[in-house]
């Protein structure tokens, strides 16, 4: 790197009602706010490569004192990244100011917009003040990991492909455990307050984590599992992101956004390679098909949608488009290990499976891509997952502070019978009562609830063990439970975070 090259980046988020802008926000003569104006620029363009977990050039821009000081080369030659009230001596401004249309930083990316650059320059000239509220300052990094006095809500977990590791979402971090829950191996501390999804890459060498800070930022993190280092941090918008999934070849990571968009990035560079906005509400989970050329996404708009990756084109609604037929948002999607068949679960508590290739033409009133519907769970389904052999699946739910882990069969012929094809080819108004009864019977035929494990806490996360012996489930009470699929017994139960004594409170 040349001189000073240091600038290159469930809880469900609560709804936020924007307050009317303060008068000083609209006053062109008011001092530039670091927290409101400058920090978002750095967050979008710089902090992915310049944070405690990934400090390229030794430069950290998420700590204000280090932001001013600069990186390794500033320390070597006695300069500073930001010199309050002296833009000419501020190396940061040299690096982000374009010459002949190109700037040294952000590296390999377009320069900051002229308006953004002017704001940063003016902020420096005015004294580079830090107006960050105390409760918004970065408090955690690898040297200062979160301290827990009680178990946190667990939103996601995943087993590594070789079955040796279990990743668990924490607060500001991902915790890596031995798969049997016997030992905490590493704590991967990043920028995002809440990690909504953790997923190992197909080869197990990398770990994707997505989340963010509600109403402030979204982020996708890619970690090197062996080195325990942050390989990539990609800021995404200004709210938490959800449902990360790897493409089968490990080249892409997809995720859903609260701006109703399905997105995917290049897992090596962080460049966006897909954006599809056919959803009408938050996108909460995603899954690639077997070949990686199609994506299924589900969200709060009660739909499961199919997108072509190469063209970023919306292809079809997998779920019914019949007005009034949908019964709540969809929370989770999982693909069959060997076939393009997708499980979904959501607010109505009914696990459903869909195919992606139509046997009949879409008609208002049909649900022809549905394969089967299983007996409902109590409450909302938060996660579904196929067993490694594809012959069964599991789901977790939550209702009124209680939860459950349920196991279902998937050992039947999933092809659509000719008589069902014939009925689905009829317009809805042409179907007889016998036709309708036959459709209802078909969609629940051969389905079985194998066993259920009731729990005293809502369950939000679920993954099958790689050997197929059972699942890991977690949720509201912050405990990970490893449950046998054969007899529904809890094999292991543990809190995945180190717990410290709660601070003493004064008597009132």
Nearest to 222 by CA among 212, 214, 232, 234: 232
The residue among 109, 129, 149 that closes a domain is: 129
| 49 and 89 co-located in one domain | yes
**98 belongs to a structural domain:** yes
**Predicted pLDDT at 271:** 94
**256 belongs to a structural domain:** yes
The residue among 80, 110, 129 that closes a domain is: 129
Assigned token pair, 27: 């006053």
Sorted by sequence, the CB contacts under 8 Å of residue 134 that are 6+ apart come out as none
| 209 and 294 co-located in one domain | yes
| 171 and 119 co-located in one domain | no
**Predicted pLDDT at 326:** 62
CA distance 474 to 350: 20
- What's the whole-model pTM score? 0.83
| 302 and 448 co-located in one domain | yes
For 332, how many CA atoms within 13 A lie in the half-sphere containing its CB?
Answer: 31
* Structural domain span for residue 276: 157-494
Please count the structural domains in the chain.
2
**Predicted pLDDT at 435:** 94
**Predicted pLDDT at 394:** 99
| 87 and 193 co-located in one domain | no
| 356 and 437 co-located in one domain | yes
**475 belongs to a structural domain:** yes
CA 245 to chain centre: 8
CATH number of the domain where residue 296 is located: 2.130.10.10
Q: How large is the C-alpha radius of gyration of the chain? A: 25
The length of the chain is 508
| 98 and 169 co-located in one domain | no
**508 belongs to a structural domain:** no
Dihedral of alpha carbons 363, 368, 369, 370, sign: positive
**79 belongs to a structural domain:** yes
DSSP letter, residue 164: S
| 124 and 188 co-located in one domain | no
**How buried is 455 (Cβ within 10 angstroms: 0-12 exposed, 13-18 middle, 19+ buried)?**
buried
Per-residue pLDDT of the chain (508 residues; tens, 9 = 90+): 333 333 333 333 333 333 344 544 567 788 999 888 888 888 778 877 887 767 788 888 778 878 888 888 888 888 898 888 888 888 888 888 888 888 888 888 888 888 988 888 888 888 888 888 887 776 788 888 999 999 999 999 999 999 999 999 999 999 999 999 999 999 999 999 999 999 999 999 999 999 999 988 999 999 999 999 999 999 998 899 999 999 999 999 999 999 999 999 999 999 999 999 999 999 999 999 999 999 999 999 999 999 999 999 999 999 976 655 567 899 999 999 999 999 999 999 999 999 999 988 877 767 899 999 999 999 999 999 999 999 999 999 999 999 999 999 999 999 999 999 999 998 878 889 999 999 999 999 999 999 999 999 999 999 999 999 999 999 999 999 999 999 999 999 999 999 998 776 655 4
| 44 and 162 co-located in one domain | no
């Amino acid at each position: 790197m040349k001189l000073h090259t240091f600038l290159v980046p469930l809880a469900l988020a609560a709804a936020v009602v924007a307050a009317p802008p303060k008068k000083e926000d609209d006053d062109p003569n008011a001092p530039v706010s670091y927290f409101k104006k400058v920090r978002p620029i750095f967050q979008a363009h710089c902090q992915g490569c310049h944070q405690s977990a990934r400090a390229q050039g030794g430069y950290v821009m998420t700590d204000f004192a280090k932001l001013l000081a600069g990186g390794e080369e500033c320390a070597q030659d006695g300069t500073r990244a930001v010199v309050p009230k002296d833009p000419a001596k501020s190396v940061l401004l040299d690096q982000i100011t374009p010459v002949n249309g190109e700037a040294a930083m952000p590296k390999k990316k377009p320069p900051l917009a002229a308006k953004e650059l002017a704001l940063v320059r003016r902020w420096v000239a005015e004294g580079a003040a830090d107006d960050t509220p105390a409760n918004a300052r970065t408090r955690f990094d690898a040297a200062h990991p979160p301290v827990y006095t009680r178990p946190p809500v667990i939103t996601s977990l995943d087993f590594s492909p070789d079955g040796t590791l279990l990743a668990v979402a924490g607060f500001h971090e991902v915790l890596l455990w031995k798969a049997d829950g016997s030992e905490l191996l590493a704590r991967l501390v990043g920028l995002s307050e809440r990690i909504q999804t953790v997923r190992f890459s197909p080869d197990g060498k990398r770990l994707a984590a997505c989340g963010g800070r509600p109403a402030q930022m979204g982020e996708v993190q890619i970690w090197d599992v062996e080195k325990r280092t942050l390989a990539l941090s990609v800021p995404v918008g200004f709210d938490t992101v959800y449902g990360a999934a790897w493409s089968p070849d490990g080249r892409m990571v997809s995720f859903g956004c609260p701006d109703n968009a399905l997105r995917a990035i290049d897992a090596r560079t962080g460049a966006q390679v897909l954006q599809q906005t056919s959803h009408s509400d938050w996108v909460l989970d995603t899954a690639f098909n077997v070949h990686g050329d199609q994506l299924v996404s589900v969200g709060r708009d009660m739909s499961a949608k199919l997108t072509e990756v190469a063209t970023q084109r919306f292809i079809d609604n997998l779920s019914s488009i019949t007005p009034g037929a949908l019964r709540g948002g969809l929370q989770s999607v999982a693909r069959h290990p060997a076939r393009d068949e997708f499980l979904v679960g959501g607010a109505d508590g009914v696990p459903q499976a869909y195919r992606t290739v139509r046997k009949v033409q879409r008609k208002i009133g049909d649900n022809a891509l549905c394969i089967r519907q299983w007996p409902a769970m109590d409450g909302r389904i938060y996660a579904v997952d196929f067993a490694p052999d594809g012959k069964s699946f599991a789901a977790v739910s939550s209702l009124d502070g209680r939860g459950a882990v349920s196991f279902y069969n998937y050992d039947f012929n999933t092809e659509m019978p000719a008589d069902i094809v014939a009925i689905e080819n009829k317009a809805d108004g042409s179907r007889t009562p016998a036709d309708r009864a036959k459709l209802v019977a078909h969609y629940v035929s051969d389905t079985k609830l194998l066993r259920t494990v009731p729990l005293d806490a809502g369950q939000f996360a679920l993954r099958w063990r790689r050997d197929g012996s059972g699942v890991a489930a977690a949720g509201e009470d912050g405990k990970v439970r490893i449950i046998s699929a054969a007899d529904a017994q809890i094999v292991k139960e543990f809190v995945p975070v180190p717990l410290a004594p709660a601070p003493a409170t004064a008597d009132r």
